[in-house]
């Protein structure tokens, strides 16, 4: 509720609640996850009224050199620097590392964000990945059956490989989980180096009209598709 109202990030909002800075109908609320009705109850934070902001959904084509953060991070360019003329506080759904590019959804809809990011709901993401050579049948089979990493098993839902010229090969990878730098680490585990990584689809949602660095509001039919993919 506080995050949706633009008061602070979800993490900071939780700290405000446990610190006793939030009241509902004049009573301090410290329990996280307390249900409130913003239409019939008065919610305040530090004495200021809190009202939820309208939900907003944006698509952005992240270029390399940008981090998926809404705050400046050690001199790196945050993704929020590419979002202009938007009053609501939005956050990226999932992550792409600084060296990766492609489609990112930004929103203040926490329910949709959770459905898209959590592997339990199995919303697939599709990537085009340039690697430094071909894959043997054994290497490809390992990537689709599961490669053990330090924090879990990386497993591609599907993998298609074609020559891309100059000794490169382009893999079209589909997966629904999201370990840190999973694709890069999985290819490294079978002896291949990722040269370029680009997310081209979230569920059935693509945005071929977006140039790198550009951001726009989602169209109604796009929102309907992504909500259906997320089971909403």
Q: What is the C-alpha to C-alpha distance for residues 79 and 87, in angstroms, rounded to an integer? A: 15
Tracing tokens 């200021």 back to the chain, one arrives at 48
Q: What is the C-alpha to C-alpha distance for residues 218 and 224, in angstroms, rounded to an integer? A: 10
Q: At what angle do helices 110-117 and 220-229 cross, to 10 degrees?
A: 60
Tracing tokens 């060296």 back to the chain, one arrives at 99
Q: What number of other Cβ atoms are within 10 A of residue 71's Cβ?
A: 8
Residue 73 falls in the annotated catalytic set:
no
Q: What is the C-alpha to C-alpha distance for residues 218 and 131, in angstroms, rounded to an integer? A: 31
Among 46, 73, 97, 208, the active-site one is: 97
List residues with catalytic annotation: 97
């Amino acid at each position: 509720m506080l995050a949706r109202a633009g008061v602070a990030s979800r993490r900071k909002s939780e700290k405000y609640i446990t610190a006793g800075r939030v009241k509902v109908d004049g009573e301090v609320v410290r329990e996280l996850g307390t249900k409130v009705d913003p239409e019939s109850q008065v919610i305040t934070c530090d004495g200021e009224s809190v009202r939820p902001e309208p939900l907003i959904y944006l698509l952005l084509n992240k270029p390399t050199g940008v981090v998926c953060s809404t705050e400046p991070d050690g001199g790196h360019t945050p993704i929020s620097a590419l979002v202009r003329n938007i009053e609501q506080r939005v956050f990226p759904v999932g992550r792409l590392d600084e060296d990766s590019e492609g489609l990112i959804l930004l929103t203040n809809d926490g329910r949709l964000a959770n459905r898209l990011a959590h592997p339990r709901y199995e919303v697939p993401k599709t990537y085009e990945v340039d690697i430094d050579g071909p894959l043997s049948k054994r290497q490809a089979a390992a990537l689709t059956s599961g490669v053990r990493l330090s924090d879990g098993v990386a497993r591609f839902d599907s993998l298609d490989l074609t020559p891309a010229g100059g000794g490169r090969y382009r893999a079209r990878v589909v997966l629904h989980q999201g370990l840190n730098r999973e694709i890069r680490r999985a290819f490294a585990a079978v002896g291949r180096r990722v040269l370029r990584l680009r997310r081209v689809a979230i569920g059935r949602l693509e945005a071929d009209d977006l140039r790198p660095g550009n951001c726009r509001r989602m169209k109604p039919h796009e929102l309907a598709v992504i909500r259906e993919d997320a089971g909403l």
